[in-house]
Structure 1
């Protein structure tokens, strides 16, 4: 069969020509109908005015500042206090008062009917103030006591007085005391007396006030302890003190 006959029976579809394409125009430009490019029009610039933002202070930063200021003030106060104490120390050169036991006499030492031990001691003590520019006020409430091992035998009060610069003052103190269930203690003292060496502990508790020039400072306490060794505990006899070791300290 010829080709023209085939086309009559099965007609061939002919594709339509593509539509005319418009020339591409660069972005940001345009052309007129005649093809001449139009002038470019840039978009107007926006002038942004900077705005100032105000942030509210935080509680944490305020607390940190307050804490820093507080610590700084405390450090300054400590420095000023340390400097003041150092200057006072260099000017006055303070020294602790000291005491010595001169004599010890036992007026009475006996067992009562109720088996309590009664003791009466007379002690002569010398209080020494070695300071050149510091006076000492001995206030009311000072005590002096005598102990054997851990038992207090007797005690007495210290008199109230003022002690000047580099002064030594002799104090006569009467001590009395009564110990319950003293039979065991009396037996131990008698056995110790046979050796000729009886250990006694004399303790001083003296509230004092320091005088710097015309200034009277706050009351402090002088605590002292003298370890004594005596040869006898016979009544109405002057006891020989074979050894004495005293230590003192000051407590606020």
Structure 2
């Protein structure tokens, strides 16, 4: 009789296990192929210890991350501090405005005497002006300190004729003060056209001048002084003649305040 050849059991496919789970048998690990080696590495070394060629890179990355996060935190704190300061400043200004109701002082020219301008000669002139400015502080609780460094200038058109400064003084609340100042100019050369124009204005008794005042002041709030702010006053003044005493024909003043 011919011998029967039984086919060998085929190896288990992927996802199948040879073994009887019900009997407590577990599948065996497949044997490594011939001429191979199996190296077992501890788990701690696999997950915690990088290869030598990557150790330096890991060290740099571990240093950079805390620095970046620390810088971000500092930047966020800085922005938050600025926002808080701005909000507190706004609240403070609002409270001061409600409590003190500040208003800008008002100015007008009360006296404007001119001398030293000779229009009949082509020689340089040395004009002199005596100017009286009326300052009214209508604030009920705020005083004004007029500091050093002020300037007062008189112009005819675009020609600067003389300059000077205001005196240093303190103006209390609800006060009107007349400030007198003497202005001088030296060897101002007028063009023939400017002389002719001034003679025409003088014949009509309407000689126009521009008065510009710039004064650094500090506001007194209770017993506290504020920072220095700059008051600017621009006045158009027309007089009837160029000799003392002269009479003011018209005057108009405007003012502005630079808080910073």
* TM-score calculated relative to the size of structure 2: 0.74
Report what 2:157 is aligned to: 149
Deviations 1:51-110 (A, max 9, x none): 899x94724433333222221111111111111111111111111112111122223322
Report what 1:65 is aligned to: 73
Report what 1:241 is aligned to: 249
Deviations 1:6-34 (A, max 9, x none): xxxxxxxxxx957521574895149xxxx
Determine which of 118, 131, 141 is the counterpart of 2:126.
118
**CA distance change for structure 1 residues 114 and 238 in 2, over 3 Å: closer, same or farther?**
closer
Query: Shift of the alpha carbon at 1:219?
Result: 2.1
Q: Contact 1:106/1:239 (CA < 8 Å) preserved in 2?
A: no
Q: What are structure 1's unaligned runs of at least 5 residues?
A: 1-15, 31-38
Q: Contact 1:153/1:179 (CA < 8 Å) preserved in 2?
A: no
Q: Root-mean-square deviation (CA), in Å?
A: 3.3
Larger Rg belongs to: 1
Alpha-carbon separation, structure 2, partners of 1:79 and 1:44: 73
More strand by share: 1
Deviations 1:140-174 (A, max 9, x none): 23222211111111222211111110100112222
Query: Shift of the alpha carbon at 1:112?
Result: 10
Alignment of 1:224-235 (within 5 A): 224-230=233-239, 232-235=240-243
Q: What are structure 2's unaligned runs of at least 5 residues?
A: 13-17, 30-42, 50-60
Report what 1:74 is aligned to: 82
More helix by share: 2
SS in 2 for 1:117: coil
Alignment of 1:214 onto 2:198: no
Report what 1:194 is aligned to: 203
